[in-house]
Structure 1
């Protein structure tokens, strides 16, 4: 019911902005209570900002990457809001702070990937509205699957080239250790995983043909899906948002019809 109210408020347009703020807060009350502040931001709409994060924090910078057979790389964040805000919606940096834009669609790793010099891999929150990627984190390829990886912010002068998610065999070759895989259903809510598989396309599951890293050609790997990229995922986010709005309007129309029937 709370999710339905949220979608209805969104569909109502700018006039219902205050209602949208209230319903979004209600929707995520249990998961995000006491962890940050809700606000209506110019150009963003209803957004949430975490209040207790380390200095210089960026989304997807406190935690680790886990390889899953079903979904490719999965981000396991250590912060209390990670299971919600780092697997749904999008992040936007505004006036020196990171704001979360709520979304209903679960994603194992809503990030853009990149490769950098000196055998390093980089990632950043997926952008919205055609904006450029920002908030890059960087890590040696060999440490990508470590349980406590030394994640650092990417230096401003670091050259990063957008790429597909890294092949786990690259990580194994660089580290000399096997990458341990896990089941996505053991890491995320099974209901979220089922909904994701039902609505997602294979090209968005983080298991595309791996891009070669700087050390040389990648090991031969069979193609498991189409191309993966931030643009594809951004389109999926927008598509899900449109579907949410259409569903909200259908529910609103049903409620209006019930009210008309009662008047009769």
Structure 2
């Protein structure tokens, strides 16, 4: 129960903060896995749209998700060798929660900006 409360608090903090949220992570939490943009583009295109985002390059947003969709809701936090890891129930979650960052775009809504380095999650835990 305590972990569920902590996860809920983290998600709430993330959603309230919007694009002002400061993403921090520890370098040692990264695995030695990297992917190319082409893999993301091809794999995610079936689930959403790629759009140019000023200041970021291209971003992706899920078009099959309903209005009001938010990241870090459909899934759960699990403990792994890398620390707390987001286990998404969404078919695109393997990429969008472990490579890159989510930003909130006023036109498209939550938009994922790809990255090439894997991490268990690009969020921070605070006590």
Same fold (TM over 0.5): yes
Deviation at 1:85, TM superposition (A): 0.8
1:50 paired to 2:48: no
Runs (5+) with no aligned partner, structure 2: 1-34
Q: Deviations over 1:9-41 (max 9, x none)?
A: xxxxxxxxxxxxxxx4x3324421311111112
Cross-structure match for 1:93: 104
SS in 2 for 1:112: coil
Cross-structure match for 2:82: 71
Report how many aligned residue pairs link the two structures.
92
Rounded Cα–Cα distance in structure 2 between residues aligned with 1:78 and 1:111: 18
Superposed counterparts of 1:1-264, under 5 Å: 3=36, 24=37, 26-68=38-80, 70-95=81-106, 97-113=109-125, 163=126, 211=127
Q: Greater helix share, 1 or 2?
A: 1
Distance 1:87-1:78 versus aligned 2 partners, 3 A rule: same
Q: Which has the larger radius of gyration?
A: 1
Rounded Cα–Cα distance in structure 1 between residues aligned with 2:52 and 2:73: 25
The structure 1 segments of at least 4 consecutive aligned residues displaced by more than 3 Å after TM superposition are: none
TM-score, normalised by the number of residues in structure 2: 0.64
Q: Greater strand share, 1 or 2?
A: 2
Deviation at 1:61, TM superposition (A): 1.0
Higher relative contact order (CA 8 A, sep 6+): 2
TM-score, normalised by the number of residues in structure 1: 0.32
Q: Deviations over 1:119-160 (max 9, x none)?
A: xxxxxxxxxxxxxxxxxxxxxxxxxxxxxxxxxxxxxxxxxx
SS in 1 for 2:124: strand
